[in-house]
Amino acid sequence: MTIGNQQVTTHRLSRTDARRIAVRAQLLDGARRPDGLLEVVRRLTLLQVDPTAAVAPNADLVAWSRLGSAGYAPAELTAALADRTLLELRAMIRPGEDLALYRAEMAEWPQRGTPSSWREYHGMWVTANDSCRRDILVRLAAAGPLPSRELPDTCELPWRSSGWSNNRNVTKLLELMVQRGEVAVAGRSGGDRLWDLAERVYPDAPAVPVQEALRIRDERRLRALGIARARGPECQVEPADVGEAGEPAVVEGVRGKWRVDPAQLGQPFTGRAALLSPFDRLIHDRRRTTDLFGFDYQLEMYKPPAKRRWGYFALPILYGDRLVGKLDATADRGKGELRVDAIHQDEPFDRTVSAEVGREIEDLARWLELELVLPKQP
C-alpha cells in the first residue's frame, strides 16, 4: 500500500498472532502483572462502570483480573476517584488527565459526542427544557454534589424513547449536560451518582483541539486493543474501531481491514489463565471475539433462567491465547460464599488448564474475602 510517496506495509497475521496481540495489549498475558491500578487504567484507557455485581462490579473485576488479589483492593478505586486521579465520564472511568481529550468535543455538542441519528432530537430536547437545565445548574452551584432525586423535574417536554429511559427526564438531562461539559459525576452514594458542576470536578486543563484529540484517542484505543477494525458502526460512548491509527493488517481467514499496533508485532508471548468480566474489553466487541477467538458467548442475565446456557453472569475463561470456557459463579455475601455452580468447558480441560483455572477461582474467592464453594462431584 502507498500513501503519498510512502510505502506502508500491510501486515499479514495468523489468528494466533492476532489473538496474542489482543491478549498482550489488554495486560492479560503472563509476562508480568501491571504496577498498580493507575497503570491498568492508563493502558486500557478506561474501566466501564456497570452496577451488576453478581460476582463483583465490572470495574473492580477488570482490575482484579490484571492485578490479582495481592495487587488490587476496591478501596484503591474509591480513593482514586475521590482524589480525581481517575474520573467517571459517561459511565467510563478514565485517567483524570484524559479529560483534556474530551473538552473540545463537549464545546461542539451535539455535533460531536453523540450518534448522528440522535443529534437533532438531543439538541431540540435540551433547548426545549432550557429552564430546567438552568435550574439544575443553580441548585448544584448552591448545594452540590446531589443525587438526581433531589433535583426537581421541571422539564416542559418529557423525554421520549422506546426503552427504559422513557420519561426519566432529570437523569437524561443530566447525562446530556455531561456531554455538554456542564455537570459531572462527583462521586457515588450507595450506587447513586452524585452530580456537581463540572468546573468543580474536572481538572483545569486546556482542551486539545478536536481532530488532534480524536487522533490521540484512536491511537490509545489501538494500543489498548492491540488489533482492531479501521471502521465500525457508531457507538454511544466508546468506539470499537480505530480509524487510521497504527498500521494496516489482514488476518488469515477473517474478512475486513484491520489496524495493528506496530509495537506489538514480533513480541514474545507467555500465556496464563484469567477470569474475565462479561464487559471486559478483550471480549466487549462480540464480532471481533468471534472472528479472532471463535468464542461463542452472550451475557445471559436478561434471559429467562430456562434459556440460559452458561448462567446469569458467566465469566469467560481465558487460557493463553484462547477463550476456553465460562465460569458460572455467584458471590453470596449474605452467606459469605463464592458459589461455583458450573465450569463450562468449550473443550475438555487437561490437567494443566484445570489446575491454573482452579488457582484463579481460588484467588477470586480470596480477593472477595468469601469462602469458595465448589459444585459437588457426581
Q: Does the pLDDT at position 350 exceed 70? A: yes
Cα gap 98→101, rounded to integer Å: 5
Q: Does the pLDDT at position 352 exceed 80? A: yes
Q: Which amino acid is at 50?
A: D
Q: What is the mean pLDDT of residues 125-135?
A: 97
Q: What is the mean pLDDT of residues 145-149?
A: 96
**Residue for cell digits 452467606?**
335
Nearest 5°: CA angle at 221, between 90 and 70?
A: 80
pLDDT tens digit string along 264-310? 999 999 999 999 999 999 999 999 999 999 999 999 999 999 999 99
Q: Does the pLDDT at position 311 exceed 60? A: yes
pLDDT of residue 318: 98
Close Cβ partners of 372 (under 8 Å, ≥ 6 residues apart): 337, 338, 340, 361, 362, 365
Query: Could you give all domains of the chain from N- to C-terminal order, each with its CATH number?
Result: 98-200 (1.10.10)
Q: Does the pLDDT at position 163 exceed 60? A: no
Res. 191 pLDDT band, cuts 50 70 90: confident
Strand duo 322-332 + 315-319: pairing: antiparallel
Q: Does the pLDDT at position 3 exceed 60? A: no
pLDDT of residue 1: 54
**264 and 258 Cβ atoms separated by less than 8 Å:** no
pLDDT of residue 147: 96
Close Cβ partners of 79 (under 8 Å, ≥ 6 residues apart): none
Q: Does the pLDDT at position 19 exceed 90? A: yes
pLDDT of residue 211: 96
Q: What is the mean pLDDT of residues 160-183?
A: 82
Res. 375 pLDDT band, cuts 50 70 90: confident
pLDDT tens digit string along 63-118? 999 999 999 999 999 999 999 999 999 999 999 999 999 999 999 999 888 888 88
Res. 9 pLDDT band, cuts 50 70 90: confident
Give the residues across from 338 on adjacent strands: 331, 372
Mean pLDDT of the chain: 94
Cα gap 220→277, rounded to integer Å: 21
pLDDT tens digit string along 236-275? 789 999 999 999 999 999 999 999 999 999 999 999 999 9
pLDDT tens digit string along 26-40? 999 999 899 999 999
Q: What is the mean pLDDT of residues 181-187?
A: 97
Cis peptide preceding 145, ω within 30 of 0: yes
Check: pTM over 0.75? Answer yes or no: yes
Give the distance between the most distant pair of CA atoms in the chain. 68
pLDDT tens digit string along 312-327? 999 999 999 999 999 9
